[in-house]
Amino acid sequence: MSQPNVVIVLVDELRSFEVGCYGNDVIRTPHMDALAAEGAMFGNAVTNNPVCSPARACVLSGQYGRTTTGSLTNDCMDPCSDERKHFPDVTLPEIFKSRGYRTAIIGKWHLDPPPDTMGFDESCFPLNIHRHYGQTYIDNGQWTDPIEKFGPDYELDKVNAFLDARVEDDEPFFLYYNISPPHEPIGPLELPERYVTMYDPEDVIIRDNAYVDGVLAYDWDWFKMYLIWGYWWRIAKTGLWDADPRCGYPGQVGNLSSDDELCPEDYTLKDLTAAYYGATTCCDDLLGRLRQMLADKGFDENTIIVFASDHGDNLGSHGLFNKDCLYEEAIRIPLMFHDPRRIAPVRNDKQIAGLIDIAPTLLDMLEIDVPDHIAGRSLVPTFESSDATLEDNASFIECNAGILGRATVGVRTETHTYGRWLEEDGKTLGEAWGFFDLRTDPYQQRNLLETGEQSELAAELHTRVAEQHHAIAWLGD
């Protein structure tokens, strides 16, 4: 048999709690559920940084965000710079390319430098700021006119063309396919109508910790950020990142009359969650269409598929929105490996799997030596059974200061989360942030640092976070 093809499907801001096979009985995600049932599914997977750029860096490098970009937060420009200032070590696509693979990235990129400097033969990706209609793409280095078609449909057309070309040649391929939803905007003007109206707000599942003092979390400005393209940009005091004027991003004009029409004052978290559900089912349909394309072209029996999300979304839990913190809603993600050649169906709820583990796992599956600079670990040994774990069953996570006001770092074990603040410089380790026993407190509502319980374990994890934080190199240091 020829070398297997590899497809990584990465969706944006999908937490595992809104996927059927992860326990949500309301949402409709049949294609994610089928992929999980046919391969290796990790019930306790986490991002190693709950924000876009560093999370994506983890996937492509097998390293932490700080090591590849020197930052804990988004570090990107429109357009990308020409010089490769980041990613000093060989990346996953470069390894595949050196092995004779045809490589492509289609969909969200959100990194700097451009894909062609990091091992991709072909690329088609949108500008960094999110919008799903009227988006501009950079297609193999050339700017397109704004695409009026629904962006994810346009991207899937590009995937189809890439796969068609592979039918005509004998090269194996590596496809890094990125789906932007359910990342905002997910309002009525940003998704096809069938997804906007698919779920009744009264039917959605609201997490217990989304009630603050007994009242459902509410933030009208954040609701509008989720629903309306460009809203954040228009009310921000400074630009979100450097952007070429050709991007056409809106200036600082504040609220518009149409904002209140799209998000009335009586809008609730249930309404927003219903929109999030619709966007998630949209992603599921795109996954299903991709798998059908692979089957129609004869690739399905010799293609490894990895499905994951870059991070989750607080979606009102703890009164917070967006991501950027060590709460479960921000860090928990779906993660599945599908390989019809060698993976028997297994659901592993014990192993803590991270995004940095994807690259070494794929290399191990393909019997390619894992470079020493990769920090992640192969998960292949945990494919053996539902309770198989690696010797060190935990994952280190780093978060920027976006939501909580100060950056944090921490560790997620099979049973606990422990986090520590970073000082204002964003690098110096500070005091403890939180300590939660997820067996008895899955919603992280009881900080054991305040009660003094399990103090011996707390001390052990306090030290562990320090050791890992100091051991992981920063780019440029």
pTM of the full structure: 0.98
Examine the domain organization and report whether 440 and 303 are in the same domain: no
Q: Tokens for 121?
A: 């033969």
Examine the domain organization and report whether 56 and 85 are in the same domain: yes
Q: What is the pLDDT of residue 239?
A: 62
* 245 pLDDT higher than 90: no
Q: What is the pLDDT of residue 2?
A: 81
Examine the domain organization and report whether 368 and 415 are in the same domain: no
Q: What is the pLDDT of residue 314?
A: 98
Residue 368 lies in a domain: yes
Residue 395 lies in a domain: no
Q: What is the pLDDT of residue 236?
A: 81
Examine the domain organization and report whether 177 and 263 are in the same domain: yes
Residue 295 lies in a domain: yes
What's the domain range around 410? 406-471
Residue 346 — very low, low, confident or very high, per pLDDT cuts 50/70/90? very high
Examine the domain organization and report whether 205 and 312 are in the same domain: yes
Examine the domain organization and report whether 127 and 186 are in the same domain: yes
Residue 203 — very low, low, confident or very high, per pLDDT cuts 50/70/90? very high
Residue 82 — very low, low, confident or very high, per pLDDT cuts 50/70/90? confident
Residue 59 lies in a domain: yes
Strand partners, 211: 216
Examine the domain organization and report whether 319 and 443 are in the same domain: no
Residue 240 — very low, low, confident or very high, per pLDDT cuts 50/70/90? low
Examine the domain organization and report whether 278 and 351 are in the same domain: yes
CA atoms of 16 and 22, how far apart (whole Å):
6
Q: What is the pLDDT of residue 242?
A: 72
Q: What is the pLDDT of residue 149?
A: 97
Examine the domain organization and report whether 92 and 145 are in the same domain: yes
Residue 396 lies in a domain: no
Q: What is the pLDDT of residue 241?
A: 64
- Average pLDDT over the chain, rounded to whole? 96
Distance from the first to the final alpha carbon of the chain: 45
Residue 92 lies in a domain: yes
* 1 pLDDT higher than 60: no
Examine the domain organization and report whether 298 and 426 are in the same domain: no
Judged by average pLDDT, the poorest of 142-146, 167-171, 321-325 is 167-171
Judged by average pLDDT, the poorest of 245-249, 275-279, 378-382, 460-464 is 245-249
* 430 pLDDT higher than 80: yes
Examine the domain organization and report whether 412 and 380 are in the same domain: no
Residue 25 lies in a domain: yes
Residue 243 lies in a domain: yes
Domain total of the chain: 2
Q: For residue range 100-113, list pLDDT tens digits in order.
A: 999 999 999 999 99
